[in-house]
Structure 1
C-alpha cells in the first residue's frame, strides 16, 4: 500500500513513467574498464559481481556507508544482524578490493554506528592509516525507555599515505554564533557583529552537532531508511577531494554521495544493487542540474542549525 503523505511532504518519489526513462540512464559493467567508462555514472549491479571490473587507483576519495550490523530491510534487500566475527568477515570480503580503487594519495571514510564501529576500525586499520574518528549527532531518533537514545554515529577517516594526502581544512570552516563575545579595546576579537547576531568562523572538530537528518519536509529526503544528509557528505568531499577529482561510493543507496559530488564540482561514481534506489539516484542527479544548493552550506560556509534566516539573507533570498 502507498504511503499517505502530507501536502507539505517534499520526499522525492518516482512515477512509473520516470522509472522507465531513468532505467535508460543506469550503467552496467561486464568487463575491465577505463576511468572514462566509469566516471559520472551509476551502476545498478551487485558490488561483488562488478568490483573487479573497475580501474585501479581511479578515485581521489571513497565514501562507504555499508549496511550496519543490524537487521534492516532495504526495499526488499534484507540485511541480517550477525555476531561480531561474522560482521568483520563481511567487511573483509569487500573492503580490500574497494581500497584498490583509491589513488595512492587518496582518502577513505567509512560510516558506522556504535555497534559496528569497533569492527570497522579493526578492519580499516589493517589496510589504511586511520587518521581520526568523526562522531556526528543525529538530530532525530526514537526514544528508548530501557536504554539511552541512540543519537550518534561514527565516520572513520583513513589514508594510504601518512605524509601525502589531500586535506583542505579552509573549505570546511563553520560559522558559529558567539554568545559571550570578547572584545579588545572595544573591537570584536575573532568574531563579527551582524544584524542577525554575533558570529565566529571556526575550524572543524571531529564532533559534528550541526547536522539535520533528512526528513519529510526537506527537499533532499527519500524513502531510503538510512539516507545520509547532503551537508554531512559535503564536509567529507570538500575536505578530502580536490575540485575536478573523483568520488566513489560502493554502497550508493539513494545517491547522496554522487549528488553532492556533482553539486560541488567533483566527478562521481557509485554502485547500488537495488534498482529503486539507483533510479532515485538518477532522479536526484538530474535535479542537481537545476538546483545545486546544499541545506546548511552557502557561500563557502557551514552554518549551525537554526540559522536559516541568516543563511537566506546571505544568499539574498
Structure 2
C-alpha cells in the first residue's frame, strides 16, 4: 500500500513520471568497462561484481556504511544478523578490495554500531593504520525497557600512510555557545560577543553531539532505514579531502555521501545494488545543484544542535572562518 504522509512531510520521494528522467543518471554495473569515466557516477550493481572494474588507487577518500550486524530489511533486500565470526567473514569478503581503491595518501571512514564495532576495528587494523574512533550521538529511536537505549554510533578513521595523509582541522571547527565567558582586560578571550549570543570556535573532538538524524520535516530525509545525516558526512569530507578530490562510497544507499561531495565541490563515485535507492540518490543530486545548503553547517563552521534560528538571524562576518 502507498504510504500516506502528512501535508507538511518533506521526505523525498520519486514519482513514477520522474523515473525515466532519473534513470540516465544511473549506470548499470554491466556498462562499466575498462575505459569508463568514474567521475560523478552512481553505479547500480552488486559491490563484489563491480569492485574489480574500478581502478585501484582512484579515491582520495572512502566512506563506508555497510549493513551493521543486525537483521534489517532494505526495501526488499534483507541482511540477516550473524555470529561475530561470520560477520567478520562478511567484512573481509570485500573490505580488502575496497581499500585497494584508496590512494596511498588517502583516508577511509568505516561506520558501525556497538554490536559490530569490534569487528570493524579488526578489519581496519588488518588493512590500514587506525588513527581514531569517532563516536556520534544518534538521538532517535525508541527506549529500551531492559537495557540502556542505544544512542551512539561509531566511525573508525584509518589511513594508508600515517606519515602522509590530508587532514584540515580548520575546515571542521565547531561554533559553540559560551556559557561562562572569560574576559581578559575587559575583552572577550577566545570567544566572540554578538547580538545573537556569545560563541567560541572550537577544534573538533572524537565525540560529536551536534548531529540531527534526518526526519520527516527535513528535505534531505528519505525512507532509507539507516540514512546518514548530511552534516555527519560533511565533517568527514571537509576534514579528509580537498576540493576536486574523489569520494568513493561502496554502499551508497540514498546517496548522502555523493550529495555532500557535490555540495562541497568534490567528485563522487557510489555503488548501490538497490535501484530505488539509486533513484533517490539521483534526485537528491539534482536538487543539490540548486540548493547546496547543509543543515547545521553555515558561515564555514559547524554549529551546535538547536542553533538554527541564530544561524539564520546573523549575517556572515569575515571572522567566521578564522
TM-score range, shorter chain: over 0.9
Residue-by-residue CA offset, 1:57-87 (whole Å, 9 max, x unaligned): 0100000000000000001000000000000
Unaligned regions of 5+ residues in structure 2, if any? Answer: 317-322
**Shift in Å, 1:55:** 1.0
**Cα distance in 2 between the residues matched to 1:216 and 1:236:** 24
**Shift in Å, 1:315:** 5.3
**For residue 34 of structure 2, what is the aligned residue in structure 1?**
33
Unaligned regions of 5+ residues in structure 1, if any? Answer: none
**Cα distance in 2 between the residues matched to 1:165 and 1:47:** 26
SS at match of 2:26: coil
**Cα distance in 2 between the residues matched to 1:267 and 1:254:** 17
Quick check: 1:136–1:154 contact (8 Å CA) kept in 2? yes
**For residue 114 of structure 2, what is the aligned residue in structure 1?**
114
Quick check: 1:32–1:54 contact (8 Å CA) kept in 2? no
**Cα distance in 2 between the residues matched to 1:70 and 1:102:** 27
1:155 aligns with 2:155: yes
CA RMSD, 1 decimal: 1.1
Quick check: 1:32–1:55 contact (8 Å CA) kept in 2? no
**For residue 201 of structure 2, what is the aligned residue in structure 1?**
201
Residue-by-residue CA offset, 1:185-208 (whole Å, 9 max, x unaligned): 111110011111110000000000
1:7 aligns with 2:7: yes
**Cα distance in 2 between the residues matched to 1:230 and 1:304:** 15
Quick check: 1:298–1:315 contact (8 Å CA) kept in 2? no
Residue-by-residue CA offset, 1:229-269 (whole Å, 9 max, x unaligned): 00000000000011110000000000000000000000000
Q: How many residues align?
A: 315
Residue-by-residue CA offset, 1:109-161 (whole Å, 9 max, x unaligned): 00000000000001111100000000000121211111110100000000000
Alignment of 1:164-179 (within 5 A): 164-179=164-179
Alignment of 1:246-261 (within 5 A): 246-261=246-261
Calculate the TM-score normalised by the size of structure 2. 0.96
**For residue 310 of structure 1, what is the aligned residue in structure 2?**
310
Residue-by-residue CA offset, 1:81-117 (whole Å, 9 max, x unaligned): 0000000000000000011110000000000000000
SS at match of 1:98: helix
